[in-house]
Structure 1
Amino acid sequence: MDISGAGIVGTFFHAPTREKLEVLENVLIRVDGAGTITDIHPAGDSMRTLVEAELGDRLYRLPDGHYGLPGLVDLHIHAPQYPQLGLALDEPLEVWLQKYTFPLEARYADLDFARERYAVLVSDLLATGTTTALYFATQHEAATKLLADICIEKGQRALVGKVVMDDPAACPENYRDESAETAVAETRAVIEHISNHLDNGAGRVLPVITPRFIPSCTDEALEGLGALAEECGCHVQTHCSESDWAHGHVLERYGKTDAAALDAFGLLTRKSVLAHSNFLTDEDMDRLASRGAAVAHCALSNIYFANSVFPLWHALEKGVHVGLGTDISGGPSASMFQAVRVTVQSSRMLAEGTDPSLPANERGRPNSAIDLITAFHLATAGGGIALDLPIGLIAPGYRFDALAIDTTAHTGAIRLFGETDPNAIFQKLIYGATRPNIAKVWVDGLDRTP
């Protein structure tokens, strides 16, 4: 059932700030025709009876054993890499890209090949609770437009970018932009396609300027994309200081860090999302905070390719906006629930250390651990803040992007055993939810359950 222009009754959980969980117990949420939450009425509210009567049969009630969550926001997805999810993860990043990833992405020049795989990806992500996705597409203009079309058709909130990679010294001959000028022109064409799409009047799908990362781009391309970002005000996404190799490449090339170089090219704005960013210096973090740029923290893929653990709590304390990403397929899971779990786990590994031969007081980085509520906040409201969009909370003025989690699903992994404490139920939802537990998915109040 669509909730736009209607209402829903049930118990919802959200995290407005880190370390703060709010339980909205047995509330009535009213949503306008555009999918925005207008008002919320708790049990006992004097207005609730009137609102229920006004809504009549346009009021949906969550069944017993079902709980509501904000939709999950995935800030880093390589859409074309979905077919290789879980493959070749024993290679270093630079080998993984050249040997496996670039050859796969090159195949998306074939639109039939692209259509089949992109359609499966978007449906699968909706089914696993990802209501908003920030996508790297490929170097191909036509296939990138196709991905945007599929997101519009299936109703997922998405930001879609044509990948720019024009440096002949770093990119395969059969998979790179012809020139910096062509790369910028095709990026502009994708922006215009999405912005002017007849079925995208609500602006649910947005364009995003996407230099793959500095090692794959010429200075001319980076300069052109920076100028385009200033002109159109679009979002920007790229990789930043992901690994020893990538971080070292930029230091050697420019004598400055990724963050400083991106800033110099005009690619560090309030709408910029930098994937990974493991090797940010304190000066880099101050720079991101001052620009309002965000980090897409990809805890799972960092284990495989980043050579380090991102100092998440330190970045938050420095005022950097942070959300979470799966990094399909560098991360071998498409689930944002898994991203939340691994975010907690990796922070504890950083805090406590991993080398048992060291004394306990030398083994880790103190005060680095985060709790489950903070990780959940980053996967929902944190993603909304990073993108500067009103998503990730169950509150008036926010879009009704939401999930209904069924704790009674026999094929799911949640077992409450009669548990009634809301905080305990929340923990079981986040640590236990699998695809069969996700009973409903709404985007802008529209039922997008696959």
Structure 2
Amino acid sequence: MIATNAIQFALQGDMFHCPIKGEFEYLSDALILIDLNGNIAATYQPFDAEYALARDELKLAGKLTELTKGQYLLPGLVDLHCHAPQWPQAGKGLDLPLYDWLQNYTFPLENRYTDLDFAKEVYGDVTKTLLANGTTSAVYFASIHREPTELLAQTCLDVGQRAFVGKVNMDNAEQCPDYYREASIEKALYETELFVNNVFSLKGNDSGLVSPVITPRFVPSCTPTMLNKLGELVQKYDLHMQTHCSESDWARDYSQTQFGKTDIEIYADAGLLNNKSVLAHSIFLTEKDVEMIKRYNAGIGHCPLSNMFFANAAMQTRELLDHGVQIGLGSDIAGAPSPSIFRAAFDAVSHSRVREEGVDVKLSASDRGTAGSRVSFIEAFWMATTGGAQVLDSKTGVFAKHYHFDAIVLETNKDVGNLRIWPDFDTPKDILEKIICLAQKENIKRVWVQGKQVV
């Protein structure tokens, strides 16, 4: 017998997850039990001795939900890099150079968030949109303003999304617009530390569903003093940290010219690297950088689509995965227009294929690309779930005992969207690949975060 009074609910049906990088598990007609705290109490498969008894007892207790044929349970998706204030500009100006895009669209828009009514409207919409697309964990850049950023944290808590929210810091007068930068280092640090403590103290956040993140925008936007002081906050509170890292030729060259160091060396020296650091992009890494990322157990937020627009080069995803670097995926709203991490997973595969095959028709096929740089759909799905969770040091991403139950039910239905399954000849691997390639918001029927249904 099982203690049904200790179980909040259970689900029975077909499930996918990727506990091991490069591999997937298809659990046919499996049973997953969720405890009263929203964590996974147990998983059973039909061949397990406890399966039938547990299923029957939970059904008798009215705590069993059975998925229908064509529905699949997957771990919730993890978005490691999303600029929440930029949501209104998604899909705009992406044919511009990065500098022009930032100056003409991004900085004027982010500066509007002193208007709390405007912030409330946008933040309510972006959090709900990401949840509806299956993103159960999101890492958000906000703006430089404390109160609107606290509003974003509160909004995430209200809608039930696991979130990591950062007040942006940028104070370098040579690189930041006069109208959009910190008034002073002292005020910025005071506001940042106050933000950290206020997020920890949010009513209803006892379980830490929403976490504060230290957020230097990137090396050129911050003075050395700012970076060092933010590093002290990371160390003092053992906080998550997010930033842009070696994203473009210009950013790489700036760090080398101004400091004689790489971005990774600068962040490490400032105390900003730890096992919860999210380094968005990370295109131009040296061998020493890679070893330092591994030494600190930091992770990379791979944003393949925005890299195509703004990064000047392709990330060495294959080599970094093979080298054991922790990598997840980011939407990079609005440097890319799609809020779907399924789209990011698809783009990660596409990005790697273009890199492998090359693009210059003037070169021979043997010289055109980078051999062996292909990323599989299974690896991309691992990055979208397990890999992203590992970067955040979060117990999500797989269906295993004691992990948080962050999950989605995805439905394949000929009357919904473009995703079609042909049971006669689609293997489980085929189905998972089709989900990555074709799933849309309309296919996502339920979303849970910490055992609570939020969609």
Query: TM-score band (shorter)?
Result: over 0.9
Match of 1:434 in 2: 440
Q: Deviations over 1:285-331 (max 9, x none)?
A: 11101110111000000000000000001112222111100100001
**How big is the shift at 1:4?**
7.0
Q: Displacement, 1:46?
A: 1.9
RMSD over aligned Cα, in angstroms?
1.2
Query: Which residue is 2:48 aligned to?
Result: 45
Are residues 424 and 192 of structure 1, via their aligned partners in 2, closer, same or farther at CA, if it must alter by over 3 Å? same
Question: Among 7, 25, 30, which residue is 2:28 paired with?
Answer: 25
Q: Give the aligned partner of residue 320 of structure 1.
A: 325
Q: Which amino acid aligns with 1:50?
A: L
Report how many aligned residue pairs link the two structures.
447
Q: Hey, what's the Cα distance between the residues in 1 that align with 2:446 and 2:327? A: 27
1:426 is displaced (CA, Å) by: 1.5
Offset of 1:18 from its aligned partner? 2.0
Instruction: Summarize the alignment of residues 51-70 of structure 1 with structure 2, pairs less than 5 Å apart.
Output: 51-55=54-58, 56-70=61-75
Whole-angstrom CA distance in 1 between matches of 2:7 and 2:264: 41
3-state secondary structure, aligned to 1:174 = coil
Taking every aligned residue pair, what percent have the same amino acid on both sides? 45
Q: CA deviation at 1:422?
A: 1.6
Asked if 1:346 corresponds to 2:376, the answer is no
Q: Which residue of 1 aligns with 2:157?
A: 152
Aligned residues of 1:4 and 1:445 also touching (Cα < 8 A): no
Alpha-carbon distance in 2 for matches of 1:253, 1:320? 27
Match of 1:123 among 116, 119, 128: 128
Q: Partners in 1 of 2:39 and 2:85 — Cα distance?
A: 32
Check 1:407–1:156 CA distance in 2 against 1; reply closer, same or farther (3 A cut): same
Q: Given the alignment, which residue of 137, 143, 166 partners 1:138?
A: 143
Equivalent positions of 1:374-413 (< 5 A) are 374-408=379-413, 410-413=415-418
Partners of 2:228 and 2:154 lie apart in 1 by 28
What amino acid is aligned across from residue 249 of structure 2 in structure 1?
D
Matches within 5 A, 1:139-218: 139-218=144-223
Structure 1 residue 5 displacement after superposition: 1.4
Matches within 5 A, 1:298-317: 298-317=303-322
Q: Distance in 1 between matches of 2:68 and 2:206?
A: 33
Distance 2:316 2:7 in 1: 40
Structure 2 CA distance, aligned partners of 1:306 and 1:289? 23
- Structure 1 residue aligned with 2:294, among 289, 294, 298? 289
- Distance in 2, matches of 1:350 and 1:44, equals 43
Secondary structure in 2 matching 1:296: strand
Q: Any idea what SS the aligned residue of 1:224 has?
A: helix
Where 2:24 maps in the other structure, the secondary structure is strand
Q: Work out the CA distance in 2 between the residues paired with 1:233 and 1:44.
A: 43
Q: Describe the SS at the equivalent of 1:285.
A: helix
Gaps of 5+ in 1: none
Deviation at 1:152, TM superposition (A): 0.2
For 1:67, give the aligned amino acid: Y
Report if the CA contact (8 A) 2:348-2:380 is conserved.
yes
Determine the structure 1 residue equivalent to 2:17: 14
Offset at 1:37? Answer: 0.7
| Deviation readout 1:199-232 (Å, 9 max, x if unpaired) | 1111111110000011111111111100111100
Residue 78 of structure 1 is matched in structure 2 by 83
Distance 1:198 1:205 in 2: 11
Output the CA distance in 1 between the equivalents of 2:336 and 2:100: 16
Map 1:327-366; keep pairs closer than 5 Å.
327-366=332-371
Q: Aligned to 2:15, what secondary structure does the other structure show?
A: strand
Whether 1:256 and 2:261 are equivalent positions in the alignment is yes
Task: Decide whether the 8 Å contact of 2:79 with 2:137 is kept in 1.
Answer: yes
Cα deviation 1:345-393 (Å, max 9, x = unaligned):
1011111211111111211111111100000000100001100010111
Look up the SS of the partner of 1:366 in the other structure. coil
Judge which range, 382-391 or 312-321, deviates more. Answer: 312-321
Equivalents in 1 of 2:52, 2:357: separation in Å? 52
| Contact persistence 2:414–2:420 (CA under 8 A) | no
What is the one-letter code of the residue matched to 1:223? N
Q: CA deviation at 1:99?
A: 1.8
**Paired residues of 2:46 and 2:52 also in contact (CA < 8 A):** no
Aligned to 2:3: none
Shift of 1:421: 2.3
Task: Provide the C-alpha distance between the structure 1 equivalents of 2:55 and 2:182, rounded to a whole number of angstroms.
Answer: 57
Shift of 1:172: 1.6
Shift of 1:414: 0.7
SS for the counterpart of 2:199 is helix
> Whole-Å Cα distance in 2 between the matches of residues 44 and 284 of structure 1?
47
Cα drift, residue 409 of structure 1: 5.6
CA contact under 8 A between 1:355 and 1:363: conserved in structure 2?
yes
Counterpart of 1:57 in 2: which secondary structure?
coil
Report the more deviating stretch, 189-198 or 137-146. 189-198
Q: Which residue, 92, 98, 101 being the options, matches 1:96?
A: 101
Name whichever of 87-96 and 415-424 sits farther off.
415-424
Query: Amino acid of the residue matched to residue 32 of structure 1?
Result: D
Q: CA deviation digits over 1:402-437, x for unaligned, max 9?
A: 110110161311111344522222122121100110
**Residues 209 and 229 of structure 1 are in contact (CA less than 8 Å); yes or no, is this contact kept in structure 2?**
yes
TM-score of the two chains, using structure 2 as the length reference:
0.96
Q: Where in structure 2 are there 5+ consecutive unaligned residues?
A: 1-5
- Between the aligned partners of 1:351 and 1:180, the Cα distance in structure 2 is 45
Deviations 1:138-167 (A, max 9, x none): 000000000000000000000000000111
Please state if 1:271 is matched with 2:279.
Answer: no
How far is 1:272 from its partner?
0.6
Shift of 1:53: 3.5
Distance 2:188 2:169 in 1: 6
**One-letter code of the match for 1:395?**
A
Letter in 2 for 1:45: D
